[in-house]
Chain A
Amino acid sequence: MDRNRLHNKVASMRRSLFDQGYLDDQFIQLEDLQDDTNPNFVQEVVTLFYNDSARLIQNIEQALNSRPIDFCKLDDYMHQFKGSSSSIGAKKVTNECTAFREYCNAENAEGCIRSFQQVKQEYAILKRKLEVYLQTVRQASQTA
């Protein structure tokens, strides 16, 4: 694909990520922080986010499977997850985390379990979209 078409593709993917509410303003903050001294900044932050998220998802799974459920611990993990998703501008994921925490506060195990499915789903969708988007960005920047 030639340079112009790639750049158009990047622009339209980016627009769609924002229009569909996957990303918010905070992602733009990250993009603005990327420069020649740190040309992979966004990718690096996002990678840290994936690593943190994988760990936290595992911790939350474990916590949800233990009996009795430690809602304090659950809330703590989810607070961390919400924090990092909010820091990268992952809007939908952050919202699902908020919903989860409400069930947690109410000590509603059923609600937590259901809500966590939503969190994981949104996270998986975002991760896939971001990977494709950032890969396209890389391709576009490498094309002469």
Chain B
Amino acid sequence: MEVAGEVLASESQLHVLAVDDSHVDRKVIEKLLKISSCKVTTVESGARALQFLGLDEEKGSLGFNGLKVNLIMTDYSMPGMTGYELLKKIKRSSAFREIPVVIMSSENILTRIDSCLEEGAEEFLVKPVKLSDVKRVMNDCIMRGETEGNKRRRVDKRKFEDDNHASSSSSSSIPSSPSSPLPSSPSTAATSSPLHSLKRAKLRDHN
């Protein structure tokens, strides 16, 4: 487990905790994040991630290294604790539920994506992860500080773009099962579906 070594961590840099059991993927995601000006800590499992955060039963909910984590990016399929299980634990913890969690998976399975988003994942990235995916996640993270109202307007705008984009999308990774119909009224932004289709749009944009 690689622990952030710098004594004077820049407050303005996002600190990302990346969780993946694959050596190759850990190395790549670390580099992608560093190139995107993030501080990175990589761990190989959900258990290690929880330890790092300080979510151990023994340690209570205080992180032991003092460096705040701004974002968690985790692989879905890992032995022991899956990324989904890690996501749930984080979202159910009072201390860490506000941390955005992004799931990465090589498998583009609709039910999997749905359950992750429903459990509170910020995004679902299809592997292999590219620099453009990471940059987009960074942007979304920065924009997270917006008010609900601004967010709603942004969602509606993207929903409009999504509708226009869908007709020209030619990605072969789109699941063949029919997607849920987009709500026609923008005022339904309070429900999860516009955000849901926003995230699906992000999926389609991949590649």
> Residues of A with Cβ closer than 8 Å to B?
26, 29-30, 32-33, 35, 38, 41, 44-45, 48-49, 51-52, 79-80, 82-84, 86-89
Contacts and interface: CB of A to CB of B under 8 A. Distances in A.
Contacts of B154: none
Given A26-B128, A33-B131, A84 B22 contact: yes
Interface string B23-34: 111011001100
12 contacts: A29-B128, A30-B28, A33-B31, A33-B32, A35-B35, A38-B31, A45-B27, A79-B106, A80-B22, A83-B25, A84-B22, A87-B127
Given A38-B31, A79-B106, A86-B106, 4 more contacts: A35-B35, A83-B127, A84-B24, A84-B25
A46 B92 CA distance: 38
> 4 shortest A-B CB distances, which residue pairs?
A84-B24, A48-B23, A33-B31, A87-B128
B130 interface: yes
B24 A88 contact: yes
B77 A79 contact: yes
Contacts of B106: 79, 82-83, 86
Contacts of B27: 44-45, 48
A35 B131 CA distance: 14
Interface residues of B, number: 16
Interface string B101-134: 0000010000000000000000000011011000
B20 to A, nearest CB: 9
**Chain A: interface secondary structure?**
helix
A26 B77 CA distance: 20
A41 B127 contact: no
A79 B130 CA distance: 19
Nearest to B79: A76
A87 B28 contact: yes
Nearest to B131: A29
A52 B25 CA distance: 11
Interface in B1-33: 21-25, 27-28, 31-32
Nearest to A51: B23
Nearest to A53: B24
A87 B22 contact: yes
Nearest to A41: B31
A83 B154 CA distance: 34
Contacts of B131: 29, 32-33
Contacts of B24: 45, 48-49, 52, 83-84, 87-88
